[in-house]
């Protein structure tokens, strides 16, 4: 078992018939399994990946949590062994697999900067997707989905929603504070982490908070400090130790086992490393943006949908003619280029390479993501659901898990508490975002817990821009070593000559560099 079952003491009390030997949350799963067999999974809260060998049935029952907070990889070995682990490197270390690179995963990675949670970078090493269970019996594998996101929105007034929101979030925080060690909190000074810290203060008189900042004028440290002072936390401030980027990348990228291009993984590693000096468990404000509508592009999508040209054939025909004479607005352009806001979201937002560019690199495989629901292409709420099933487990949770585990730190995400998350997913979208505001429900419910400055805040990213990173000589040298030499491993998978055209010190360049770094780190197994 890898993970944490929140509120497990309460669950334990419901199984008096089980002879508990210890006090761990893992044993609760065995008690539940004895009574409910595979059905236990519907009542299990928390983040987890586990496997139970049932000797009577001669079968292995495996499952992964609903939102993909914990990883689960598996493969079939040379002699039909079933091999499973939390990391790809553990499966490779078995020596029972000769990995083959997965072209679909490379294609998906080039487009989005991460490997989808339905793939691994190797064709013959698989992931158990979030919210799925697996049974291995007599050499046969059977996989099924045990949980789907609630697909319908509720009808709710803001005042009713506010009350339920606060109640459920308090419960989520309270459950996740139970540990046999001190639980601290990451504090960025944003709305999400400030809310978590404010609620922790109701249960812990003296909590530890930790902030990480780059020493440039847009640093968020001052906001974090305001909240820390308001709640009199034991506050730790980490300023960037300017290690050069190339050294950081060479040190940190091997922890991923797969190519990963999210630029915030370096600061994330550093905050985890520093947190571990004082703490072993930390709460994080992750996934607030997807649950409450916090990203700027959700706002843009809302504007696209309200624009006169959205799905309007006549207006689009006119704009097409007009743009030959004069430039047209961004919203008009995007409505001409994309069928609907879902298409815009999937093929523009956070995209690096488009299909034509991937083809130029010699990558022609495609992959269509299997969501648990059929997204309405005009619904912002469904776009947030798409992010919860795609971006969150494939990118955000990968970054959080690998960077924390690399530093022996446990990171918990109260916003992913199942009761709270389900409530937020079903909130009507006008309680999340409108033409003026984002995160409406969070601002209404938690505004009184923040300081005035925080109340005025809008989203700020974590980390610096890629462009400024490529100003570093050492990074350029690393890039030249890995991308200007046709003998490098990466060029077994993408075309060397075509690659040279994309090395323009931008996101595409960064994306290719991370792919090259992965190929370089794994050249012994490839």
CA distance 226 to 209: 12
CA distance 186 to 471: 30
Q: CB neighbours (10 Å) of residue 115?
A: 26
Residue 358's pLDDT band, with cuts at 50, 70 and 90, is very high
Residue 64: the pLDDT is: 98
Tell me the mean pLDDT in the region 489-509: 96
Residue 219: the pLDDT is: 72
- Residues in Cβ contact with 497 at an 8 Å cutoff, skipping those fewer than 6 apart: none
Residue 285: pLDDT over 60: yes
Q: Give percent above pLDDT 90 in the chain.
A: 89
Instruction: Decide: 100 and 124 in contact? Cβ < 8 Å.
Output: yes
What angle (nearest 5°) sits at the alpha carbon of residue 185, between those of residues 45 and 215?
140
Question: What are 318's two structure tokens?
Answer: 């006119």
Residue 382: the pLDDT is: 97
Residue 154: pLDDT over 90: yes
How does pLDDT run across 291-306, given as a tens digit for each residue?
999 999 999 999 999 9
- Residues in Cβ contact with 243 at an 8 Å cutoff, skipping those fewer than 6 apart: none
Residue 180's pLDDT band, with cuts at 50, 70 and 90, is confident
Tell me the mean pLDDT in the region 263-267: 91
Instruction: DSSP letter for 484, please.
Output: S
Q: CB neighbours (10 Å) of residue 228?
A: 25
Tell me the mean pLDDT in the region 481-505: 97
How does pLDDT run across 93-124, given as a tens digit for each residue?
999 999 999 999 999 999 999 999 999 999 99
Question: 184-207: b or e for each residue (b if 16 or more CB lie within 10 Å)?
Answer: bbbbbbbbbbbbbbbbbbeebeeb
Residue 204: the pLDDT is: 93
How does pLDDT run across 56-79, given as a tens digit for each residue?
999 999 999 999 999 999 999 999
State the pTM of this model: 0.95
Residue 242: the pLDDT is: 62
Residue 508: pLDDT over 80: yes
Give the Å distances, CA to CA, from 18 to 23, 37, 218, 338, 519: 13, 14, 55, 57, 49
Tell me the mean pLDDT in the region 368-383: 95
Residue 326: pLDDT over 70: yes
Query: DSSP for 72-123?
Result: -EEEE-TTS-EEEESSHHHHHHTT-----B-HHHHHHHHHHSS--TT--SBT
Residue 460: the pLDDT is: 58
Instruction: DSSP letter for 206, please.
Output: S
Residue 431: the pLDDT is: 97
Residue 488: the pLDDT is: 96
What is the pLDDT of the chain when averaged over all its residues? 94
Residue 525's pLDDT band, with cuts at 50, 70 and 90, is confident
Closest CA to 129 of 74, 64, 70, 41: 64
State the SS3 of 312-349. Answer: CHHHHHHHHHHCCCCCCCHHHHHHHHCCCHHHHHHHCC
Cα dihedral 125, 129, 133, 134 in deg (nearest 10): -20
Residue 412: pLDDT over 80: yes
The torsion angles phi and psi of 151, rounded to 5 degrees, stand at -95, -15
Question: What are 124's two structure tokens?
Answer: 């013959």
Sheet harboring 132-137: ordered strands across?
2-4, 47-54, 59-64, 132-137, 140-145
Residue 312's pLDDT band, with cuts at 50, 70 and 90, is very high
Instruction: Decide: 174 and 167 in contact? Cβ < 8 Å.
Output: no
Determine how β-strand 73-76 pairs with β-strand 126-127: antiparallel
Ramachandran bin of 289, using left for φ above 0, alpha for ψ from -120 to 50, beta for the remaining angles: alpha
């Amino acid at each position: 078992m890898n993970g944490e079952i929140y509120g497990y003491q309460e669950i334990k009390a419901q199984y008096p018939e089980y002879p508990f030997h210890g006090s761990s949350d893992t044993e609760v799963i065995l008690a539940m399994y004895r009574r409910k067999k595979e059905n236990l999974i519907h009542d299990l809260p928390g983040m987890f990946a586990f496997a139970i060998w049932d000797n009577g049935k001669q079968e292995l029952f495996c499952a992964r949590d609903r939102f993909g907070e914990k990883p689960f990889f598996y493969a079939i070995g040379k002699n039909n062994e079933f091999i499973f682990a939390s990391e790809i490197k553990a499966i490779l270390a078995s020596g029972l697999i000769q990995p083959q690179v997965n072209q679909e995963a490379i294609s998906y990675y080039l487009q989005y900067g991460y490997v989808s949670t339905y793939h691994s970078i190797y064709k013959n090493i698989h992931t158990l997707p979030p919210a799925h269970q697996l049974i291995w019996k007599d050499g046969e594998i059977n996989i099924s989905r045990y949980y789907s996101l609630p697909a319908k929105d509720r009808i709710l007034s803001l005042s009713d929603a506010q009350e339920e929101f606060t109640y459920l979030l308090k419960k989520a925080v309270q459950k996740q504070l139970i540990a046999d060690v001190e639980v601290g909190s990451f504090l960025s000074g944003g709305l999400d982490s400030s809310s978590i810290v404010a609620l922790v203060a109701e249960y812990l008189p003296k909590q530890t908070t930790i902030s990480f900042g780059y020493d440039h004028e847009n640093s968020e440290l001052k906001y974090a400090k305001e909240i820390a002072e308001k709640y009199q936390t034991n506050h730790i401030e980490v300023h960037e130790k300017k290690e050069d980027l190339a050294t950081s990348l060479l040190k940190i990228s091997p922890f991923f086992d797969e190519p990963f291009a999210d630029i915030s993984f370096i600061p994330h590693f550093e905050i985890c490393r520093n947190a571990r000096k004082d703490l072993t468990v930390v709460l994080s404000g992750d996934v607030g943006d997807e649950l409450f509508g916090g990203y700027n592009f959700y706002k843009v999508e809302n504007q696209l949908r309200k624009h006169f040209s959205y799905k309007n054939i006549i207006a689009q025909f006119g704009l097409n003619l007009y743009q030959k004479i004069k430039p047209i607005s961004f919203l008009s352009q995007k409505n001409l280029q994309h069928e609907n806001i879902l298409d815009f979201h999937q093929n523009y937002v956070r995209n690096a390479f488009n299909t034509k560019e991937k083809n130029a690199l010699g990558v022609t495989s495609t992959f269509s993501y299997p969501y648990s629901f059929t997204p309405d292409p005009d619904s912002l709420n469904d776009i947030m659901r798409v992010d919860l099933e795609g971006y969150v487990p494939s990118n955000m949770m990968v970054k959080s898990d690998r960077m924390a585990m690399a530093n022996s730190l446990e990171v918990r995400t109260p916003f992913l508490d199942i009761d709270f998350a389900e409530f937020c997913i079903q909130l009507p979208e006008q309680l999340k975002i409108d033409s003026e505001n984002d995160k409406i429900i969070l601002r209404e419910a938690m505004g009184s817990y923040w300081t005035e400055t925080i109340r005025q805040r809008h989203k700020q990213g974590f980390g610096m821009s890629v462009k400024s990173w490529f100003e570093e000589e050492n990074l350029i040298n690393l890039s030249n070593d890995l991308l200007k030499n046709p003998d490098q491993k990466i060029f077994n998978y993408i075309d060397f000559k075509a690659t040279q055209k994309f090395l323009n010190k931008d996101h595409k360049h960064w994306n290719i560099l991370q792919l090259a770094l992965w190929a370089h780190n794994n050249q012994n197994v490839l």
